[in-house]
Structure 1
């Protein structure tokens, strides 16, 4: 019973957020099996990320800036971006800008869910600690995913130099903000909450704006409006 409670507490935030973003797709919902597959890809990304992070830490040391921006945020966001770009970006189901957000959030929350399970089994399964992880780290991964996916969506439906620009931004922006978040946690022992919470609030505010703009760029919005008028 205890084992079930721990797993539930670790998995629930990621599934809840994934459901929320799945329902935010206003015009052309993605196949559920595709979203679940990408979510599970986030599970698989954890192992190579951990191996590379361990090797880089032994090589470069644990300086807060290098550890936060390069080893933690850099490696994690790169692996998620790499998988999305090579598996999802050219997939036929990626047919509207919001799809980039949904699939990026899915792989990010899959990754965050495994992290949550690992922390829970490491002895951090108290209600307060798991609630904090749901509100900050898990939520943060979702917001970094929104950022990555929004710009992948812009790249997918742009042409020429704009495509390359948005592809680069889709990696750099989430890597930068993830690094800032980790740097706050790694350098501010007592007052980190006063910086992390406003940062997360700002990311949610801008993230919801990106969700709205991505939906507004959907090529299916006119089709749905015509269907509603015909009804």
Structure 2
């Protein structure tokens, strides 16, 4: 059981630690990061209940559209809501890169408990693929969400702020929907999911670097 728990939580903690330690300007209080992670963990149960209601009461069980709404829309929307109301408006969100840190914490909290439930049901033999695909994908969707939340937070233009806020929710939903569609609609999904994940990592790391650049400019422009 200890090995199973370790296999379930290790990928999320490792990825979160990597992105947290990349914040070389003003690292977020570890208590805030842990709090965001716990919020992500707590999201799993209400989301599972809502998805169960969709499947049983609303009869949304099969098809790409049902899967997209139940998974991509519901999960990314609730993660965005938690980040927006608990971190985005917080005083500690004081540089653009912070958006990525908090989005990553909430998303990986969610992915970690989801991963634990999956491994309890299916065993540790799928732990490697779970770390490589579902857990990593949640982290990469969070990069896009956090990147645009960071841009929105520090934009001085009302119209641009709105655009960035919409991008912070719509782009992760779109990427999550594409991720799910690959497994549902393509028989040889492995041939597509590998390049898809490579592109996600490539573009995600570019977003991370840009967020660092924005943070550097934001800090240098503050009055001394």
- Residue by residue, what CA displacement relative to the aligned partner does 1:5-54 show, whole Å, maximum 9, x if unpaired? 00000000000000000011121111111111101111100011111111
CA contact (8 A) 1:105 1:146 kept: yes
* Counterpart-to-counterpart distance in 1, 2:69 and 2:143: 20
CA contact (8 A) 1:150 1:210 kept: yes
* Counterpart-to-counterpart distance in 1, 2:174 and 2:15: 22
- Residue matched to 1:186: 184
> Structure 2 stretches of 5 or more lacking a match?
none
Say whether residues 1:81 and 2:77 are aligned partners: no
Count matched residues. Answer: 219
The SS at the match of 1:168 is helix
- Residue by residue, what CA displacement relative to the aligned partner does 1:169-190 show, whole Å, maximum 9, x if unpaired? 100000000011011112334x
* Counterpart-to-counterpart distance in 1, 2:122 and 2:26: 42
* Counterpart-to-counterpart distance in 2, 1:68 and 1:199: 19
- Residue matched to 2:159: 161
Change (3 A) 1:28 1:221: farther
- Match among 148, 153, 161 for residue 151 of structure 1: 148
- Residue matched to 1:99: 98
Alpha-carbon offset, residue 90 of structure 1: 0.9
Say whether residues 1:141 and 2:141 are aligned partners: no
TM-score, with structure 2 as normaliser: 0.94
Alpha-carbon offset, residue 66 of structure 1: 1.5
- Match among 12, 20, 23 for residue 22 of structure 1: 20
The SS at the match of 1:63 is coil
Regions of 4+ moved over 6 Å: none
- Residue matched to 1:39: 37
- Residue matched to 2:211: 214
CA contact (8 A) 1:69 1:176 kept: no
CA contact (8 A) 2:107 2:142 kept: yes
* Counterpart-to-counterpart distance in 1, 2:60 and 2:43: 23
Alpha-carbon offset, residue 89 of structure 1: 0.9
* Counterpart-to-counterpart distance in 2, 1:177 and 1:60: 25
- Residue matched to 1:70: 69
Alpha-carbon offset, residue 194 of structure 1: 1.0
- Residue by residue, what CA displacement relative to the aligned partner does 1:44-96 show, whole Å, maximum 9, x if unpaired? 00011111111122314223222332111100000000111111111000000
